[in-house]
Amino acid sequence: MRTNPQRVHADTFRVALNQQFDAAERLGRDYVDVASGDLHREVGGYPGRSHAMPNCCSVLRQAMSSGDEILSEPPKGKGATLKIRYRIPRSN
32/20 Cα distance (integer angstroms): 8
pLDDT of residue 3: 47
| CA–centroid distance for 42 within its chain | 10
Cα-flanking dihedrals φ and ψ of residue 42, to 5°?
-60, -45
User: Does the pLDDT at position 2 exceed 60?
Assistant: no
Whether 51 is covered by a domain: the verdict is yes
Residue 31 is part of which domain span? 5-87
pLDDT bracket for residue 5 (50, 70, 90):
very low
Coil, strand or helix at 87: strand
* Sign for the pseudo-dihedral over CA of 38, 48, 81, 56: negative
Confidence (pTM):
0.89
What's the number of domains the chain is made of?
Answer: 1
Average confidence (pLDDT) over 42-63: 92
Q: How far is CA 90 from CA 8, 22, 23, 72, in A?
A: 24, 9, 12, 21
Average confidence (pLDDT) over 7-21: 92
Whether 92 is covered by a domain: the verdict is no
